[in-house]
Amino acid sequence: MKKIIFIGLSILTTIGAYTQNNVLDATDKASIIQDEQKGKEPLLDINGYFEGRIGFRVQNDQNQNYTSISEFRLQLETEKELGPFMFNIVSDFVLDPITMEDAKDIYKVDLDTGEGLIDMRQANVVFSPFNFADVKIGRQILTWGTGDLIFINDLFAKDWKSFFIGRNDEYLKAPTDAAKVSIFSKILNIDVVYTPRFGADRFIDGGRISFYDRSLNDFRGEDNPISAEIPDTWFEDDEIAIRVYRSFGTYEGALYYYNGFWKSPAGQEIGTGRAIFPDLEAYGASFRGPIAKGIISLEGGYYKSAPGASNVASIRNDELRLLAGYEREIATELTFGIQYNLEHKLDYEAYVNGLPDWAIKDEEYRHITTLRLTKRLMQQNLKLSLFNYYSPSDEDGYLRLRASYKISDVAKIDGGSNFFYGNRNHTFFNQFNSNSNVYLGLRYEFN
């Protein structure tokens, strides 16, 4: 425990000391131009950063460490153009004393979960076989849809652990090993993403973040994480995601289709109690455009769960999901955004009938609202942000506060908190209540 804090703090201070020297490092304009105009490309252009990040739970959690995050991360990024092909690699190297303390083999590498020494973020090749088509093959980050930290038709892998413990926002998107083919025309654009082997979310299993397990009627933590049955047969347990989109002047419309699996556990295997990822098919649509000095987003999706899901209580129901959002600048450098999200269980009666009387039952309708406030100060070097999820139906919520300051062009410090609140143990956000945490990170970038 102390060891972890010690390592974390020494990392932070080392970086701090290093960056301090660079704060006043004035660069002469003329020399930059000269550098650029030399025009000689190095064989490999490497960019990246060092980062130290440490965080603590703000209350005692019997199932977890007091430290919520304590890691040292090095990201290296490079790209290389070879003929018509563009190769991209982004990889993180992570020293994480929290996992080191528990794991026997600290150098183990698990590219699916990103745990261990290496978290490969991207390794792909991009090319255009025709002037109307782009292809990207390999490990990549994928995002589409219109929600702000709410996802309906974006069924690409998410990393909820990173999101909850205070890594930078970009880590919410977990990488996917896929082939993406995009076709462009004046009438319609089409994206097809094929993932030959199912890529699950980096979901909450108790290992890093404890949660309330209804079947256990208790919390699960690092000593008792769920065991999951992740479909992993190449070309059999595969996924396909399609987006057809176009713009109508300034308005953007899209249709979506997905065929694969629930990305986080959505059921339990009867008998073993192992978490499963039932089949999922999704159809959706979205619209986005300017209205009343802001941006409005509308998105909907119909989730068709595994066949017979409504009769098996342990498998998630079919769902209808709707989202409406509006964002605008309400004062200088101050952005305000609100969203409303509905999750409607479509076969509620069957869901209720399938559960024993004593079991905890979700409501038929789950409502979630979000509020965003982002303020930029000091020539945009200081950014303050608040993002709050609140569910009136679950009477719980999740508040994310963050401040980040650019000390110089190469150094950035950020701090924030993740607060989970509510009344009942089993509701979605409040089940993470004892994981509420604060964190601090320091990053040094180079290129």
Partner 1 sequence: MKTTIKIIGGLLLILSSNLNAQNAQEIVKKAIHASYYQGENFKTKVNMTIIDKLGRRRNRNITMLRRDDSEKDDTQKYYVYFTKPADVRKMVFLAWKNIDRGDDRWLYLPAMDLVKRIAASDERTSFAGSHFFYEDVSGRNFDEDTHELVEQDEKYYVIKSIPKKPNKVEFSYMKNWVDKETFIPMKAEFFGANGTVYRTYSVLDTAVVDGFTTVIDSQMEDNLTGSKTVLNYHTIKYNTDLPENIFTERFLRRPPLKLLLQL
Residues near partner 1 (CB under 8 A) are 23-24, 26-27, 29, 32-33, 36-37, 39, 47-49, 81, 86, 126, 134, 136, 140-143, 169-170, 172-173, 182, 184, 189, 245, 247, 250, 252, 288, 290, 293-295, 327-329, 332-333, 335, 337, 376, 379-381, 406, 408-410, 412, 445-447
Tell me whether residue 365 or residue 446 sits nearer to partner 1 (CB atom). 446
Tell me whether residue 221 or residue 325 sits nearer to partner 1 (CB atom). 325
Q: What's the min distance (Å) between Cβ of 229 and partner 1?
A: 29
Q: What's the min distance (Å) between Cβ of 284 and partner 1?
A: 17
**SS3 of 216, please?**
coil
* 189 DSSP β-pair partners: 184, 245
Distance in angstroms (rounded) separating the CA atoms of residues 172 and 200: 13
Q: Which amino acid is at 368?
A: I
Which residues touch 270 (CB under 8 Å, ≥6 apart)? 312, 314
Which residues touch 342 (CB under 8 Å, ≥6 apart)? 320, 321, 322, 323, 365, 366, 367, 368
Distance in angstroms (rounded) separating the CA atoms of residues 314 and 273: 10
**SS3 of 15, please?**
helix
Q: What's the min distance (Å) between Cβ of 56 and partner 1?
A: 26
Tell me whether residue 369 or residue 408 sits nearer to partner 1 (CB atom). 408
Distance in angstroms (rounded) separating the CA atoms of residues 153 and 145: 6
Q: In terms of DSSP bridges, do strands 275-276 and 228-229 run parallel, antiparallel, or are they unpaired?
A: parallel
Tell me whether residue 64 or residue 162 sits nearer to partner 1 (CB atom). 162
Q: What's the min distance (Å) between Cβ of 442 and partner 1?
A: 13
| Phi and psi, residue 390, nearest 5° | -135, 130
| Phi and psi, residue 204, nearest 5° | -75, 110
Tell me whether residue 136 or residue 208 sits nearer to partner 1 (CB atom). 136
Q: What's the min distance (Å) between Cβ of 90 and partner 1?
A: 8
Question: Is residue 265 within a helix (H) or strand (E), and if so which, with residue range?
Answer: none
Tell me whether residue 229 or residue 252 sits nearer to partner 1 (CB atom). 252
Q: What's the min distance (Å) between Cβ of 250 and partner 1?
A: 5
Distance in angstroms (rounded) separating the CA atoms of residues 258 and 63: 36
- CA 27, distance to chain mean position in Å, is 36
Distance in angstroms (rounded) separating the CA atoms of residues 114 and 121: 9
Contact between residue 59 and residue 68 where contact means Cβ atoms under 8 Å apart? no
Tell me whether residue 97 or residue 138 sits nearer to partner 1 (CB atom). 138
Tell me whether residue 9 or residue 407 sits nearer to partner 1 (CB atom). 407
Residue 151 half-sphere exposure, CB side, CA atoms within 13 Å? 16
